[in-house]
């Protein structure tokens, strides 16, 4: 398998919104790509 890892930094107060955005928009878009194998989201609160 092959992975793309993106590191982002934001305001901790916006973290829940960012998590929701990841699940509701980023993952559905990524999952449309051929060969998509999965997604993880790791956070430091």
Question: What residues make contact with another protein under the rule CB under 8 A?
Answer: 1-11, 14, 17-19, 21-23, 25-27, 29-45
State in angstroms the smallest separation of the CB of 28 from another protein: 10
Q: Is the distance from CB of 22 to CB of 41 less than 8 angstroms? A: yes
State in angstroms the smallest separation of the CB of 31 from another protein: 7
**Residue 32's CB: how many other CB atoms inside 10 A?**
7
23 secondary structure, DSSP code: I
Helix, strand or coil for residue 13? helix
State in angstroms the smallest separation of the CB of 25 from another protein: 6
């Amino acid at each position: 398998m092959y992975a793309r890892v993106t590191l982002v930094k934001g305001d901790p107060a916006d973290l829940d919104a960012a998590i929701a955005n990841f699940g509701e928009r980023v993952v559905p878009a990524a999952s449309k790509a051929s060969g998509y194998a999965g997604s993880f989201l790791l956070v430091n609160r």
